[in-house]
Chains A and B, each alone.
Chain A
């Protein structure tokens, strides 16, 4: 069911599961996963050109962007570096939720933590960025990113898989670890011997 040979032979874990189970992976998306980009890439480039978000989606849906825990008002002018953490959220309720929106009328409320860009240039070096997806952004973009593949902490992944009920494994149609087709019972044991980070791809045939 994986779409092509490249998917099958990819290093890491590839799962083919039914669509209703994709939300099982939402804790990983909230907790944060790694994406490799280029040092000095700005947030807009990263999201639109690298990850495939449409500019309209960025403008309309992604209302709060937090870079290293600091609200960003202008994604064209905030750049990523190795080790950056980027969190994305739709517009949120509450006074503080409204305060954290991009260019919020209440932005003065959080002026001491607002991201301030230092002039940085793109230098072509790879940068590993932790990306966190929250709420509606997670729901809408998560399946797409899981299909492309994300890099997750092995322990987080094991913790998640360990707690799954039998109904999850029944809905898990195919499992490939480093290109090898394996059965659910083998998975947790084999995954233990992987490195600290693991590439995870989750595909739902109903979506492909």
Chain B
């Protein structure tokens, strides 16, 4: 992983491929690398779909090694949805394969002059960029079937569906899973539209004949990995709850606490929650011969994913995750698990972010385009997006665009990006993160990390409200660092509670690079990334006014607790004081 692959899609005479050493980007991976390249090379005021924007794909620092859980891949660019910097990441196989092919990043630059669409094929023999207009407007599942028939089973693909080709702001980038299905998505921020603007439909990766990446100190690395895996397996969340029920295990508890956004963020509890909970979903999967415990890439030991079958026992989609079940379920008043699973499939197939689409449909329902609870109508709306009808083009551009088109006041977005599945009026701390993250409202931009790391900014009393600014800062810093390693964020629970598991991760990073990594170095890396991202946003015209939740969170009390978001603006402005 010592080189960067740059492809100028707008070069005279057709796309030009160039390889270069990492140079000043050495030591960075995943989000650290995508954000460094975007912040340094992309003019902040450029049009996100224009030739000056760059589309960067980077596996994590540990991807392609034997390290467990190291299969996350980051996708970065200037976002057409937020207008700021974006990093979205996904699981699946491509991170491991791309890293073994030796690339720390692929950078798509420029913009093709005609309207040809391209596939990029990368294997041990080199890189080919091939125009293939027969792929135009293929949905992801059909596209991957085509790639399989052309290039065999030992590939991993990164692709866009019709939504990306239509350059919609809710378009995602799909990554294939272990079964070679396009189910893992870098969803947020319209990254699929940027890949579409570069004219690239699919990147086919094949690491046949290539070895694993080897650490500088293999014995120390192996030992640290062993301890790391043990730590994950012995923890109640990573060893039991996530494997048994997946992330949707959160539905019941978030609903019970009154923080489950329902009917487009009007209420905090959904009556039908237990019908779409992770417990119910896992039971259904077992009954129908699906799989409730499954990894999204080789080397995952938590296995929070699964396979969802329809009533006839046939594959329908991967196990819909908590955010998806909420977005298409409770937020739209829908308590039919099969309908939600169908929407998950449609989103994956058209290449859409499930959170943005669910939030958009709820906004459309509030605008009167369908009734809350009408699952068939919700499915029809997604189909409009896939077909690219005029209505579909409005919906496919996300919740804010749709809300404006229909004159709505309650539009749950920050920096143009839809809020995920936790109402900040019930859990104020997450509102701090939603408001201030450079990415727009993002639930992953502030995760649970080691207690000692959380306290590096000074000891805070966790029971005092003032503590949340400090905590949000440290969580965002640590998350930015984890996002650079290629590690799935779900490792966070084990390293929150078990210092020895956190230490094992540090030891793995040190043994791999040959340079000692301490908790302080880790946090410095996170700070460096956030500083670059915020600097980009500042140059793109963002001010502290953009670090705010929509006004209705301060004025409309949320039942059942009937509270509003109470964190003061001046406190939000302190999050990045370090």
Contact = CB atoms under 8 A, between A and B. Distances in A.
A100 B257 contact: yes
Interface in B553-573: 560-561, 563, 566
B430 to A, nearest CB: 6
A109 interface: yes
A95 B250 contact: no
B247 A94 contact: yes
Nearest to A135: B249
B467 A134 contact: no
A93 B493 contact: yes
A188 interface: no
A114 B563 CA distance: 12
Contacts of A63: 236
Given A27-B274, A110-B426, A111-B464, A92 B446 contact: no
Contacts of A111: 428, 463-465, 468
A33 B269 CA distance: 18
A110 B280 CA distance: 27
Contact of A136 (B240, B426, B496, B560): B240
Looking at B275, B454, B471, the one whose CB has the most chain A CB atoms below 10 A away is B471
A126 interface: no
Given A105-B454, A136-B241, A93 B236 contact: no
Given A64-B253, A95-B430, A23 B236 contact: no
Contacts of A69: 256-258, 269, 560-561
A134 B251 CA distance: 10
Chain B CB within 10 Å — which of A26, A93, A114 has the most?
A93
Contacts of B428: 109-112
Contacts, number: 162
Contact of A104 (B274, B426, B460, B462): B462
A92 B241 contact: yes
Contact of B464 (A27, A93, A108, A132): A108
Q: Which of B241, B247, B461, B471: most chain A CB closer than 10 A?
A: B241
Nearest to A26: B279
B244 interface: yes
A77 interface: no
Contacts of A139: 244
A30 interface: yes
A110 B464 CA distance: 10
Contact of A98 (B277, B304, B493): B493
Contacts of A91: 236-237, 241, 493
Given A87-B253, A89-B253, A92-B241, A110 B236 contact: no
A31 interface: yes
Contacts of B433: 95
A109 B429 contact: yes
The 10 A-B pairs at the shortest CB distance, nearest first, are namely: A109-B429, A108-B467, A98-B448, A30-B274, A134-B252, A108-B468, A107-B462, A87-B256, A111-B465, A69-B258
9 contacts: A98-B493, A100-B257, A104-B462, A105-B496, A108-B468, A108-B471, A109-B468, A113-B257, A135-B244
